[in-house]
Amino acid sequence: MDSSPPFKKVLVANRGEIALRVIRACREQGIRTVAIYSTADRESLHVKLADEAVCVGPPETNLSYRNIPNIISAAEITQAEAIHPGYGFLSENAHFAEICQSAGVIFIGPSPESISLMGDKARAKSLMRETGVPVVPGSQGAISSEEDAISLSREIGYPLIIKASAGGGGRGMRIVHQENEFENALHAAQTEAFQAFGSKEVYIEKYFQNPRHVEIQILADAEGHVYSLGERDCSIQRRHQKLVEESPSPVLSPKLRQEMSSAAIKAAKAAGYVNAGTVEFLVDDHRNFFFIEMNTRIQVEHPVTEMLFQYDLVKAQIRIAAGFPVDPPGKSFGHAIECRINAEDPWTFAPSPGTLDRFLLPGGPGIRVDTAFYEGATIPPYYDSLIAKLIATGRTRQEALDRMARALLEFEIDGIRTTIPFHLALMTDDEFRKGTYSTGFVEQFLLRRPWEKRRKSDMT
């Protein structure tokens, strides 16, 4: 392995814990760092920890963290050779990756072509179909006629879901359980779609009752090596926002893991993908898996995989971007789980910005905390509500969950409301501990009024 630093200087085009994560990966490799910040983030840790920092705009993200000209200029005036976009903001913006290229700055991530290919869900799905990666069965685009729709629905099988092409938010959406309901449901969905979006175009897809959301982490270098670093089960989510991720998934057999890993590698190769990426799959009751989409960036929950493989994914990203081959990941060990600690009410999830009057981090064996906050810091209302990622590892799932519960009890935050009580209730919930949850779990869990149970146990 070449020990010379892959770059002399990297600009980190992000804020918060992920900016810190990238700065740390750079420092360990002898790379100097440039932070960018908005006027709301002057006192942020990423600004303090970087070797240089450039203010790129006011608090609004489109004028600062998404301000392409100012960020490119910041790279130019500091003579940074590469830009790491983190997650969110410009991380999956093909236009930005292209501008980096033309400005002679290396974008630490996949090519603009890979980003736009995977960003176009229809194109990505049809590529997967051609490659032989299973996708959710359904109409390829909008349905053309009622007759075609009916014959297709027989092919797909019931239950199925009708969705508005222009849609979102449940409008123009119908779940159909048997064929005699199909015609009425189709008409209702079309009418609703037309009223809501001005287009009666709808498409149909197989509907899954209790799906699990399982993703495969891959690493691909410019020499054509593609590796799978196993899965992360992200089924614990609320309104499509992930709250907890763990690996290994409690429902994956070694055989299924092998199959999903092969599919993810096949997907990455077909797309000519280079750098770290995540292939998201839906897993149904019968352990069938289907491609949903590919995320062309480092993900929030990447530490779960890092802990399991003792492998630094951010360092790998940087080395890949510099043209180095990637080290094979080796074998995983034990179990890892991450809880996202958000500045939100634990039960309603309403945002709760403010000042951290007290911020006492947990520690001890098997605990990792990724955060950019400190006691006395203020959580600005302009950005996302993530305050800390708490990661627990153990030899077994049980040990990891017990450690997580212990660490959550140690974690003291005053001044704002956080999701710590939610996670604590979850870690001690019998159903969750069985590991048989699906994406509908959190909704059901909240219906059981877990806050009452906690209060009772507090009294004993």
Partner 1 sequence: MTNKEIQELLSLLQSTNVTVFELEQDGVRIKIQKSALSSGEVLRFQTPRPATGEIQESGSVPPSVHPPTPPRANVRTITAPIVGTFYRSPSPEAGPYIEIGSTVQKGQILCIIEAMKLMNEIESEFDGTVKAIFMENGQSVEYGMPLIEIEISSEA
List interacting residues with partner 1 (CB under 8 A). Answer: 39, 42, 47, 51-58, 64, 69-74, 76-79, 103
Q: Measured from the CB atom, is 33 or 342 closer to partner 1?
A: 33
Alpha helix (H) residue ranges in 350-449: 397-410, 420-427, 430-434, 441-447
Could you give the dihedral angle defined by the CA atoms of residues 98, 104, 110 and 115, in that order, rounded to the nearest 10 degrees?
0
Least separation in angstroms between CB 108 and partner 1: 19
Integer Cα distance of 80 and 85 in angstroms: 13
Least separation in angstroms between CB 55 and partner 1: 4
Residue type at position 20 = L
Least separation in angstroms between CB 63 and partner 1: 9
Q: Measured from the CB atom, is 54 or 252 closer to partner 1?
A: 54
Alpha carbon separation from 407 to 211, 392, 427, 454 (Å, rounded) = 30, 8, 11, 17
Q: Measured from the CB atom, is 19 or 420 closer to partner 1?
A: 19
Active-site entry in 297, 319, 340, 397: 297
Q: Measured from the CB atom, is 80 or 260 closer to partner 1?
A: 80
Query: Is 297 part of the annotated catalytic residue set?
Result: yes
Q: Which two tokens stand for residue 289?
A: 């898996």
Least separation in angstroms between CB 52 and partner 1: 5
Least separation in angstroms between CB 102 and partner 1: 9
Integer Cα distance of 417 and 364 in angstroms: 24
Instruction: Say if residues 6 and 318 touch (Cβ distance below 8 Å).
Output: yes
Q: Give the residue among 269, 257, 268 at the shortest CA–CA distance from 231.
A: 257
Integer Cα distance of 28 and 322 in angstroms: 16
Omega prior to 159 cis, within 30 of 0: yes
Q: Measured from the CB atom, is 67 or 190 closer to partner 1?
A: 67
Which H or E run contains 340?
Answer: strand 335-342
Residues with catalytic annotation? 297
